[in-house]
Amino acid sequence: MGIRIDPLKCTGCMACELACSYHRDDAFAFLSACIVVYRAKEKKDYFGIIVKEEENLVIARPEGVEVRGIGAVDEASEGQADASAKPMLLREACDLCEDMDGGPMCIAVCPFEAVYQE
């Protein structure tokens, strides 16, 4: 079981990223979040969401969701959109907010129910 994103419901509000960073650091520090909203430079108003799991990155974009093994991201070329995922490799994996009552905070705060647990 892990966190999943419905990219067609997501508006890029970053509430999930704020909640995750607060869970990790008791402060709003984006660098500690294991769920991240990223924007592509080459396309206006285009964004995706990346969730780091123990062995995978879940990459949700408007055209669909892709689950990639951590090693596959390491091998991605710099010219591809997956290069946006590289900073995620340094972050801790999602622990599903296991120490919180009520489950993952990112799910609880998502105003559009775009984040859910599988």
Instruction: Please state whether the predicted TM-score (pTM) of the whole model is above 0.85.
Output: no
C-alpha span between 18 and 32 (Å, rounded): 10
Tens digit of each residue's pLDDT (9 = 90 or more) over 67-115: 999 877 555 444 444 445 557 888 899 999 998 888 899 999 999 999 9
C-alpha span between 100 and 68 (Å, rounded): 27
C-alpha span between 76 and 89 (Å, rounded): 13
Tens digit of each residue's pLDDT (9 = 90 or more) over 11-57: 999 999 999 999 998 888 888 899 999 887 777 778 889 999 999 99
**C-beta contacts of 31-36 below 8 A and 24+ residues apart:** 31/91, 32/91, 32/92, 33/91, 34/88, 34/91, 34/92, 34/93, 34/94, 35/3, 35/94, 35/106, 35/115, 36/87, 36/88
